[in-house]
Structure 1
């Protein structure tokens, strides 16, 4: 149904200028197209990636001024102006993105306002750009001998770019790097643990959004045939973001819906409100402000989700029945040391959270790291997985035939060595299918690197890679008994199912050692039984497991050995039966249970 709707949309776009449509409506449609291109970039950057930007209008200005200057001062082709504008925008966006994408919270939007204003005032104060008068006499675009010197001719090129952008962004989001981008909004900890370079991915989507804005500016310059700084200021940047939010910042088609609604509404309000109020002014801004307040109150995801409910939903990613096999690690021989923690220590100021802990995990074992709440178990876990750096001590892991130090490595580097993890508090993307959530775990097993992966995904040249990754995700879900829930939204699952989903995602990393952080927390008795059976099954398949838990009943008949912590210190280690009789454990943790 959605494919038919897409074809209907293309048909409407194609026939609009052929019909006896008034020139005014063609002009309005051209601006809707230009705004849609910028809003599409904001869908990727803000709606999906969770990175708010108020400065996209400045990148529109870069594209417009680059082509305007080269075509008026040097008589160069607009197509050369496009290439130069893209190169200039990519360089500027990469530099700005590398600096500002490190910011979080309210500092990021403030940073985008700062560079947006800087570029705006730069355009208005550079003598060779005409200062605030700008550049005039910009020539029209020529395409295959056809001079696009009127709005009706430019219409086709503008909307062709819109459709290419829509298809490209949809292809990207439904791919391996796209799943990594969608994981950014949750804070990035889970994405890093699955091998995603989140800092790089943030810069990438920032540059893509800037390039879309640049192309919109190029089209704008040759449509208007003149440029000045006014359309590239902070107000315009806010309007672009408003368009994305109104339409639905997390939805590709929401960008076009938002651009259409706000452009048409702004035009009508500028005509109606002065008559109603008997005075001239930008009264439409007041209406937009009220709209935004109501939208944030009643429809935070924008208007597109309400429209999309009219269409039957199909899974965006479907697991194939066959695909090229992904490479697999060879499991270590049973009984050899896999992980060695040697006097690991973690201090937060004067607080010692982990106090010189030492223990070992051997291949084929299930080791339980237990203790009461606040004992430092999860902190120890985060030291092993690279989420936190150690204050002192060493953590070594078997890589090939050697034990090598891994503390000091990032999470994404540690998972590359063969250690995969789950989280104490479930971290998944609730609006994505179970299959797609698990496929994130196979991020490092793709056929393309981070640079070529983006390009091949946009151009849909990654079909074989996608088939292999999705089939692997399906196999891991079937392995853990969730093969019947492939296309269910992850947010609809019960807590127990979500924890099993996290285990399947970790298994998709092809680990040698599986780290589970309180997997039984919040589960009912039967769910705990099912989880224990699953872990025994994985052990029987050769998987090594380090389990952080505080539920003694759960680990007693499951683990081979136990390490007990209290207040950051190891107080006991040994077989479950031995630990259960240990006086220090009975006093500190078991409370006298026999």
Structure 2
């Protein structure tokens, strides 16, 4: 990080360099706009690059912040700083309303939705008489800080870049926190996040609002820099440019937002002067060049420019687990033999297809129960009914006496059921420690704003300490700070078990944990499960590998074509004619 801080120091020194190194007003103006655009692009890194939600409408939120301060300061003589607070409050309200609707969309409907509300706000600015219609509002007063008037571009330069720096630090603080790990799981791992207790729908709205607030602050600064506003800078074209900046710099990288804003602003400025000279006529030819550059970038540098620049800088330290911390509270263990999970006549239909046909079984405290059967037997569907991913068509599921078949995944994990997945679900660019810590989401309480202000240090230490303990418990301590995507499949499955243990479960549900593992890895997995059972953990294991579970499980439940065909002790089930028929197709 040291070279980046050196870069910031140089940036803050530029305006006061003596002659002949004096920076001209032209470059100060350009740097001011780079800073304003960077603030918006930083919000898009959080929203699009991290959260996976493409937005073309951020320019409209810039307009909300700009028009709020312009109207309040010119019409009512309100202090610009009070107008900023009102503008932020208005932006939060508008973003909550829009986000509650838009963030439910997915696929191509989401960017289309952002285009729709972005255009709506743009035309609202241009048609309201109170806002001066398309002529806008003039005579906006200059900002004043500690009695110093910021009338010139050079004087407001520092304020703009201080805001940029605060935005960078706040986003980094957020991403390296409990809610930040939840936000990072939104992109491609939302099912896993829900199973760990994350309210993914609310998290989407939260980062949408946060990105909108950053855009509004940029609009506030823009209004007092220009001293006039009109709808033109807040239309769809500028919304697309902001997204271009984030993508060019590296939409998944915080510092990439600043780099992208600098590249596009400088290139656009030069092209606007150069292209008319080369072509002999004026026009928006820079848009054509931008289109060509964007196609080339997406073809050859899909992660943006920042990853190439980052090679020159030493990598910052990973989030570390403390050597000691106050332990997190744990659930009381159930009495041995207590009926933990009772599945009673559960049925699941998909239209005319009966995937699970009136299946019943129990899991008692301290037991390892294996739900086995050939491929397509309905094991994973039954598993998903128990964990709330699917809702049963009929039947009842009770956990420790409470009916849970109508609950969501998020509510079920609160009751003490942790799970893994048939196909490994992890965040490959995050470390093993950070992936496992997602499992402890419900055991923390600090939210977004405490994380942004870094008031969550004590809780973070406890969460990371517990995650490290679970990693050691499953034998992956030597990989604690490795990227999860670099692990072998067997290690990734073990890591998923550590993540589930971080939920502090009473019952552990494992969906085909031995799938794709070699013989030795299966033996190591079996040893781990026996160790967890000795520690008092109850396990429901979904498998199709009968050899793996035969010497591991206390009881077996066998399914075929969605129906339970046998249950009992392993030696009883192994000799059951119906089971032999299901696995071997019958014997002579």
TM-score, reference length from structure 1: 0.97
> What CA distance in whole angstroms lies between the structure 1 residues aligned with 2:275 and 2:50?
35
Q: How many residues end up aligned between the 2 structures?
A: 584
Matching residue of 1:190: 192
On the 8 A contact 1:174/1:316 being kept in 2, the answer is: no
Give the equivalent residue in structure 2 for 1:290: 292
In structure 1, C-alpha distance between the alignment counterparts of 2:489 and 2:170, rounded to whole Å: 35
C-alpha distance in structure 2 between counterparts of 1:293 and 1:424, whole Å: 37
The answer to whether residue 546 in structure 2 is matched with residue 589 in structure 1 is no
Per-residue Cα deviation, 1:405-426 (whole angstroms, up to 9, x for no partner): 0111111110010000000000
How far residue 187 of structure 1 moved from its aligned partner, in angstroms, is 4.1
Distance 2:360 2:317 in 1: 47
- Aligned match of 1:484: 478
Cα shift at 1:295: 1.6
Distance between the aligned counterparts of 2:295 and 2:507, measured in 1? 49
2:498 is the alignment partner of 1:500: no
2:189 and 2:506 mapped to 1: Cα distance? 26
Residues in 2 aligned to 1:532 and 1:590: alpha-carbon distance in whole angstroms: 24
Q: Distance in 2 between matches of 1:187 and 1:472?
A: 22
The superposition leaves residues 246-290 of structure 1 with CA deviations (integer Å, 9 ceiling, x where unpaired) of 101111001001000000010011111111111211111111111
Q: What is the Cα deviation at residue 462 of structure 1? A: 0.5
RMSD of aligned Cα (Å): 1.0
In 2, distance between residues paired with 1:591 and 1:445? Answer: 48
SS of the aligned residue for 2:508 comes to strand
Q: How does 1:193-208 map to 2 (within 5 A)?
A: 193-208=195-210
Segments of 4+ in structure 1 off by > 6 A? none
Is the partner of 1:16 in helix, strand or coil?
Answer: helix
Task: Single out whichever of 36-45 and 70-79 deviates more from structure 2.
Answer: 70-79
Match runs of 1:428-467 below 5 Å: 428-448=426-446, 453-467=447-461
| Map of 2:259 onto structure 1 | 257
Q: Check whether the contact 2:470–2:502 (CA below 8 A) recurs between aligned residues.
A: yes
Correspondence for 2:319: 317
Distance in structure 2 (CA, Å) of the matches to 1:496 and 1:287: 48
2-structure distance, mates of 1:93, 1:31:
24
3-state SS of the aligned residue for 2:187?
helix
The 2-side partners of 1:298 and 1:590 are apart by 51
Q: Which residue of 1 aligns with 2:137?
A: 135
Q: Mind listing any 5+ residue stretches in structure 2 that lack a counterpart?
A: none
Q: Find the residue that maps to 1:249 and give its secondary structure.
A: coil
Is the 1:244–1:258 contact (alpha carbons within 8 Å) kept by the matching residues of 2? yes
Contact 2:72 2:83 in 1 (8 A): yes
**Structure 1 position 6, deviation (Å):** 3.0
Matched with 1:545 is 539
- Asked if the contact 2:62/2:218 (under 8 Å) is kept, the reply is yes
Deviations 1:460-487 (Å, cap 9, x if unpaired)?
A: 0111111111111110000000011111
For structure 1, which runs of at least 5 residues remain unmatched after alignment? Answer: none
Report the equivalent of 2:402: 404
Partners of 1:593 and 1:48 lie apart in 2 by 55
Q: Is residue 94 of structure 1 aligned with residue 96 of structure 2?
A: yes
Separation in 1, partners of 2:201, 2:105: 10
d(CA) in 2 for partners of 1:168, 1:300: 26
Query: Aligned to 1:167, which of 166, 169, 188?
Result: 169
Cross-structure match for 2:43: 41
Contact 2:581 2:587 (8 Å CA) reproduced:
no
Aligned-residue offset at 1:316: 2.7
CA contact (8 A) 2:156 2:225 kept: yes
Instruction: Answer whether contact 1:315 1:487 (CA < 8 A) is retained.
Output: no
Equivalent residue for 2:425, pick from 407, 427, 447 = 427
